[in-house]
């Protein structure tokens, strides 16, 4: 963690993309916790803010505090179980966009590196071929400029900090990442340049395929 970090999330109201009797789709802002932290000053989060508006809000999954983008919450226990099973069985489809440091070689590929928590530096994660859990991320270059590359990332597993560590392992840390970027890669952006661009799943009622997205803010 970079020295001097202070939790100071936006006070803007949650941006609701879609709501019905079963699901609530929102665009999480960067630097707001998905769920309450342990410390009193970290109790403010997207989940509690949504419950102030929709008291039946139930958690399904999380995004890292610094990551922005599409999240789904359930509005009843049956929908929560249905959605939770889809995430557990990897039946959802998630795409992210990121800006990373350096010009990536090639146009697409897959990172297949096992990950595990870096205990002395928790919550940081690390690649470990002996004890890490299987982790795969597909990547596709969208554009390049002089010092950075914009990529689409498609996680095939859902490990903590997976996209951030996999990009670091390729030698291209995500801009503004206070855990994994250093020097110019860290100072090149005022926030973590990682956004959950789209999320597709089966609707809890009827099973129809649905997909929701939000614009990339960087």
Question: What is the rounded distance in angstroms from the CA atom of residue 163 to the CA atom of residue 131?
Answer: 19
Catalytic one of 11, 20, 22, 64 = 64
What does DSSP say about strands 194-202 and 68-74: parallel, antiparallel, or unpaired? parallel
Query: For residue 155, with 0-12 CB atoms within 10 Å meaning exposed, 13-18 middle and 19 or more buried, which class applies?
Result: buried
DSSP string, 48-75: HHHHHH-TT-B------TT-EEEEEEES
Question: What is the rounded distance in angstroms from the CA atom of residue 7 to the CA atom of residue 4?
Answer: 10
Question: What is the rounded distance in angstroms from the CA atom of residue 169 to the CA atom of residue 103?
Answer: 14
DSSP string, 127-176: E-TTTPBP-EEEEEEEEE-SSEEEEEEEESS--TTHHHHHHHHTT-PBTT
Q: Is the CB of residue 175 less than 8 Å from the CB of residue 99?
A: yes
Residue 64 is among the residues annotated as catalytic for this protein: yes
Enzyme catalytic residues: 64
């Amino acid at each position: 963690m970079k020295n001097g970090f202070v939790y100071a999330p936006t006070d803007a109201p949650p941006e609701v993309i879609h709501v019905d009797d079963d699901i609530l789709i929102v665009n999480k802002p960067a630097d707001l916790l998905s769920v309450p932290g342990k410390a009193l000053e970290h109790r403010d989060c997207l989940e509690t803010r949504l419950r102030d508006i929709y008291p039946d809000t139930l958690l399904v999954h999380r995004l890292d505090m610094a990551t922005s983008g599409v999240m789904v919450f359930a509005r009843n226990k049956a929908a929560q179980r249905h959605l939770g099973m889809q995430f557990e069985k990897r039946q959802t489809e998630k795409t992210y966009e990121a800006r990373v440091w350096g010009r990536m070689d090639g146009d697409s590929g897959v990172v297949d590196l096992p990950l595990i928590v870096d205990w002395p530096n928790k919550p940081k994660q690390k690649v470990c071929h002996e004890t890490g859990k299987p982790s795969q991320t597909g990547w596709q270059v969208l554009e390049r400029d002089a010092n950075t590359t914009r990529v689409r990332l498609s996680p095939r597993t859902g490990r903590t900090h997976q996209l951030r560590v996999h990009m670091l392992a390729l030698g291209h840390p995500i801009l503004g990442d206070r855990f994994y970027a250093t020097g110019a890669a860290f100072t090149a952006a005022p926030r973590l340049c990682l956004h959950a661009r789209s999320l597709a799943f089966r609707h809890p009622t009827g099973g129809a395929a649905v997909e929701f997205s939000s614009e990339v803010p960087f």
